[in-house]
Structure 1
Amino acid sequence: MPALRQARLSVGAGEVHALIGQNGAGKSTLIKILTGAHGRDAGSIRWGGQEVRFRAPIEAQEAGISTIYQELNLIPHRSLAENIFVGREPRRFGLIDWRRIERESAAILSGLGIQADVTRPLHTCNTATQQMTAIARAVSTRARLVIMDEPTSSLDEGEVQTLFGVIRRLQADGVSVIFVSHRLDELYAVCDRITVMRDGRTVAEREMAGFDKYQLVSTMLGKELSALQAARRDPRLPPGPPVLRLDGVRSGPRVRDASLALGRGEIVGLAGLLGSGRTELARAVFGAEPVDQGRMDLQGEAVRWREPADAIARGLAYLSEDRKTEGIVPDLSIRENLTLVLLPQLARLGVVDRQRQREVAERFIERLGIVCAGPEQPIRELSGGNQQKVLLARWLAARTDLLLLDEPTRGIDVGAKAEILGLIRELAQKEGLSVLMIASELEELVGASDRAVVLRDGHTVAELQGDALTEENLMSAMAHGAMPTTAAAEGARDG
């Protein structure tokens, strides 16, 4: 399937233009084609009224298009001034003119409202100054279009406002900005128009004014307001005693104030737009990210992990959304993948008991219905759904009590999705497994969860259960930070 199909983007002079979409929508591919990092198979790009085809990013930069990526491509041990002029150092009598570099760098940063020692090594500066250095480099190239990919992802509130001030200065100077972000409030604060992408297509091009947040979220997710159904969940067993409780948890820049509770045998869905802090919260619960503030209780006892091994020892398990990179080991067999967590128990004097390993693998292949040629088959040869079953089996074999699932059905066909979700429900009901599940597909959350907690910009903003657990209410909470009243919901449907 092509990454882009019928993608469109139009940006005016001096305009701040939002580009949004879920993971896989095609935003990054579109930007890479625009800037010459990727070639295009069809269509055209017009820049300054002329059709262009950039063969490399340097050609786009020379034409006046500069990109600031989420992962800043700067040189940490060089000074701010060196980073601003790297590759374009002015010379005097054949030598680099350091005085001019430092003078002009300080002037550019000052023009952006930043007062900084430009001789200071970049790695000694905070994230905001590093971000402004990247912007200063773009400005120094006399860019007429600056593309900012998630520029606020590592900034605090004060730093975000400073960045917005810089964007407005650029706009006043006639510079156009493409602003990629998943934080809706930021889009409305700084952008003039918006392009929404879904499944490689442009599905909306609108003025920000008059584009309601609820409509924006439904457009991103592909759910028409008129087609929303107040889906009812199936009857669920009442939750057992509390297993996990989070109160006011803060972790890094993404998780700011998260609270939730999870009972034994309960499945709690974790909803939110990309960038809301869902994955970061799950990783903090698992010990892969630090808990900077707040309280985390496990079985009624306050805990604080130093590393994931501490969480694993207490019965926690985590399945990453990136199955291929952080889940399977593609060149190893099903047997080896399935028993990775068990290796300390299956080894004696440093030698793994392969017979016991095989017995464990065969037992869980049968139990979870993993379709394969046998335990020695390389896991890379399995379908996505069967790979995911192997990863579930890995943690079940380790006698997990609490399972953290991040997009467990991503990249899996419809039939396998239903099978995986049914398996998770069976494990919760019959074995008392507690599950915290992240899913972008709202239909999955409604159908599989006993309750759902909604995160927005790192804050817990709603908890839904019973008849209130519907796609419509989830979308409203993701857009506005709260469930709609009945009247508001009717107005949203009518509008």
Structure 2
Amino acid sequence: MTDGERELSSAPAPADDGRVPSGPPVVEATGIVKRFGPTVALNGARITVRPGETHALVGRNGAGKSTLVSVLTGLQAPDAGTVTFGGRPAPRLTDRDAWRQSVACVYQKSTIIPTLTVAENLFLNRHDRTPTRLISWQGVRHRAQDLLSTWSVNVDPQTLAGDLTVEQRQFVEIARALSFGARFIILDEPTAQLDGAAINRLFDRIRDLQQQGVTFLFISHHLQEVYEICDTVTVFRDARHIVTAPVADLPRTELVAAMTGEAAAALREQRVSSLDSNVRAALSVRSLSSDGAYRDVTFQVGAGEIVGLAGAAGSGRTELAETVVGLRAADQGEVEIAGKRPRPGSVPGALAAGAGFVPQDRHHQGFVPDMSIADNATLSVPRRLGRHGFISGRRRDRLADGMIENLAIKTPGPELPVSGLSGGNQQKVVMARALADDPRLLVLINPTAGVDVRSKEFLLGKVEETAETGTGVLIASDELDDLRMCDRILVMFQGRVTTEIARGWHDHDLVAAMEGVDLDV
């Protein structure tokens, strides 16, 4: 599938009764270009959504899906290209009422205000008023009940929104969107926080609303859901449109190949493992469970072994890795680091047991921006800087100088605040701290997110060097480049380890496992 703008079918997919939806597209975006500085987020992208269909938009992280949603909802103006709704040009960005009548988005993170009732959320700033301009709360409640009944949402309008389930909040948001007049709704990862029964109920509601003339754009990392609920699918890759096709005409193997590109057929480069089976395991996880995140996970990371923990958003991989290093506490199960069992939910305990880690968000979890490189890099090893709680500045700077040289951090000196460094060099400081105490276990969560290509290659090379010294490494990521060096990969899907993939994997095999797709079907 080398043609970047290939269409498997230019005609709209027929409805279940065989009729082809008539009229202009509900939304059509063509030639969309959007840049953020030097980054091209959308490069001539396009999508056409027909009336009454559920249209899937899929692609790997960074493919441009979120940017397209921001353009389709009027939050961002494209640098080039056009957007039309029902054949008419999109409203001006300042005309928010016109946008609400054209399109609504139900995001993975709810926009419902938890301290207000359902009725108050549904008609916020649109309250019924008495002749004296006071709000008629009785009128608001009646309107809310009528709206909820019209769209078959079984929720008491006087209930506090904070008391609703995730599923109920989604239905209320859909009802609110419909109350503005919009009949085109974007669902952004709607199933990420739902269990199987709730997902089935959501899909039933989508089908019911389709019958009432509502059109959906469905964004999901779970490709199996695309085949369950969607009529048409569009794939983005590297900020471009790749393919649009009726779901029934696109086999799973072709869909995954469209997402991964030519690399799907390329065998990854082999790494010579430094695993030492005669040394105590760097990490042992036994029957670990955390309600709503992951369930009954058991695995080991050997000394010198690099193990990947892969999975899409909501798979539980990040939460599991954070539990290993004490950022979270599991509800049950055990974590053992180099033969020691740290206190659950204790980062100091995990560090003392022999762990070093690079957190998911370096800006909020990885460093203190106004502190120097030297202070940030040595935060986890105060005992190496002096006695009885006193820190020797000379000893600290000497240790930091060694880290700066080892990690090739570009800086005039160790006293520079980390906020003055580039993103790649900031991540190197975080890595330096993770390695400062010669850890027996190195845990990395999305270790190359937001860094340039050269820094990414350097950081991953340093991980390999670390493993060669006998340190066990656990990499939790959904970026394929982060996982290529792994000796084996544990794939998580909906909170469980579903697959173990050994060396020699192809990109499309790993992506399919992460998305919960069986390529043999």
**TM-score range, shorter-chain basis?**
0.7 to 0.9
Residue in structure 2 matched with residue 102 of structure 1 by the alignment: 141
Matched, 1:242 2:281: yes
Contact 2:305–2:473 under 8 Å retained in 1: yes
Alignment partner for residue 69 of structure 1, among 90, 94, 107? 107
Report which of the two has the higher share of helix: 1
Partner-residue secondary structure (3-state), 2:176? helix
Contact 1:401–1:434 under 8 Å retained in 2: yes
The aligned runs of 1:66-465 (5 Å cut-off) are: 66-93=104-131, 94-223=133-262, 225=264, 228-240=265-277, 241-299=280-338, 305-343=344-382, 346=385, 352-430=391-469, 432-446=470-484, 448-465=485-502
For 2:493, the aligned partner's letter is R
Distance in 1, Cα, partners of 2:94 & 2:388:
55
Partner-residue secondary structure (3-state), 1:187? helix
- The structural deviation recorded for 1:172 is 1.1
Distance in 1, Cα, partners of 2:456 & 2:288:
31
Report the CA distance shift for 1:278/1:120 in structure 2 as closer, same or farther (over 3 A).
same
- The structural deviation recorded for 1:294 is 4.5
Contact 1:15–1:171 under 8 Å retained in 2: yes
For 1:231, the aligned partner's letter is R
Alignment partner for residue 59 of structure 1, among 72, 97, 108? 97
For 2:428, the aligned partner's letter is K
Distance in 2, Cα, partners of 1:130 & 1:316:
39
Distance in 2, Cα, partners of 1:115 & 1:444:
45
Alignment partner for residue 21 of structure 1, among 59, 63, 86? 59
Distance in 2, Cα, partners of 1:201 & 1:152:
25
Contact 1:36–1:57 under 8 Å retained in 2: no
- The structural deviation recorded for 1:410 is 3.0
Instruction: Calculate the TM-score normalised by the size of structure 1.
Output: 0.88
For 1:262, the aligned partner's letter is V
Distance in 2, Cα, partners of 1:60 & 1:293:
51
Distance in 1, Cα, partners of 2:85 & 2:71:
13
Which string of whole-angstrom CA distances, capped at 9 and with x for unpartnered residues, describes residues 446-476 of structure 1?
3x1122112223321221224x444354234
Moved more, 416-425 or 381-390: 381-390
Partner-residue secondary structure (3-state), 1:91? coil
- The structural deviation recorded for 1:317 is 2.8
For 1:286, the aligned partner's letter is V
- The structural deviation recorded for 1:350 is 6.3
Distance in 2, Cα, partners of 1:224 & 1:465:
18
Partner-residue secondary structure (3-state), 1:87? coil
Instruction: Calculate the TM-score normalised by the size of structure 2.
Output: 0.84
Residue in structure 1 matched with residue 514 of structure 2 by the alignment: 478
Contact 1:251–1:284 under 8 Å retained in 2: no
Report the CA distance shift for 1:87/1:223 in structure 2 as closer, same or farther (over 3 A).
farther
- RMSD of the alignment, in Å? 2.7
Which string of whole-angstrom CA distances, capped at 9 and with x for unpartnered residues, describes residues 292-331 of structure 1?
3454444456666134333233222331343334323333
Ranges in structure 2 where 5+ consecutive residues have no aligned partner: 1-38
Identical-residue share of aligned pairs (%): 38
Distance in 2, Cα, partners of 1:239 & 1:60:
64
Ranges in structure 1 where 5+ consecutive residues have no aligned partner: none
- The structural deviation recorded for 1:349 is 7.0
Contact 1:249–1:257 under 8 Å retained in 2: yes
Report the CA distance shift for 1:311/1:145 in structure 2 as closer, same or farther (over 3 A).
same
Distance in 2, Cα, partners of 1:146 & 1:174:
11
Partner-residue secondary structure (3-state), 1:2? strand
Contact 2:193–2:314 under 8 Å retained in 1: no
Distance in 2, Cα, partners of 1:411 & 1:347:
35
